[in-house]
Amino acid sequence: MDIQGSVEEHFAALSKCGLEVVLVKKIADFDEVSGLIIPGGESTTIGKLLEKFELDKAIIAKFKKGMAIWGTCAGAILLAKRIVEDSKVNGLKLMDVEVSRNAYGRQIDSFETEINFGVGKDSKKIPAVFIRAPKISSIGKNVKILAKYKNEIIAAREGKLLATTFHPEMTNNLEVHKYFVKMC
């Protein structure tokens, strides 16, 4: 999704994975994609732009036809069915998770760490960058936890939906991007 946020970083990571990347700016662009990344940025702004250009309806329709969607940070907020605090975010309400916006604090509280991403023997240690990051405060019964930080859920998957509250695109590690490519 190329309307606001960390678009260039995701573009670079997917290109390193050997993919031909399409920058989705308008409804017609959905014809060319099998997966969509909603990047980090400002969730209220992205939500308003999705609604203004009717991209929200196009995303939901394409998802119902099988398109995989990954939301990073603000994108995870937009995927969530529930947002803890009363906000003006126009979300997609697709993923059975509840999120808490800016749960790790303000911009000045941003940090980098290492986490384990994945399930069981497929789990890998990867770097994670948190920038005004949300937390996934609860999940539905069909949602799998893929990563935690200090016992808080920071990555989850429900079918063709992936949410990460951190920014894998801000590192040189491609594990989460490769995981999403397999989902597509």
Please give the CATH superfamily to which domain 7-183 belongs: Class I glutamine amidotransferase (GATase) domain (3.40.50.880)
Catalytic residue (one of 54, 152, 158, 169) = 169
Q: Indicate the helix (H) or strand (E) that contains 63.
A: helix 55-64
- State yes or no: is 167 an active-site residue: yes
- State yes or no: is 17 an active-site residue: no
Catalytic residue (one of 8, 9, 42, 73) = 73
Residue 146 neighbours by CB under 8 Å, 6+ apart: 117, 118, 119, 155, 156, 157, 162
Length of the chain as a residue count: 184
In this predicted structure, the answer to whether residue 120 has a pLDDT above a threshold of 80 is yes
Beta bridge partners of 149: 152
Catalytic residue (one of 8, 51, 112, 167) = 167
Model confidence pLDDT, tens digit, residues 12-48: 999 999 998 888 988 998 888 999 999 988 888 888 8
In this predicted structure, the answer to whether residue 183 has a pLDDT above a threshold of 70 is yes
In this predicted structure, the answer to whether residue 109 has a pLDDT above a threshold of 90 is no
Model confidence pLDDT, tens digit, residues 122-137: 899 999 999 888 999 9
- State yes or no: is 184 an active-site residue: no
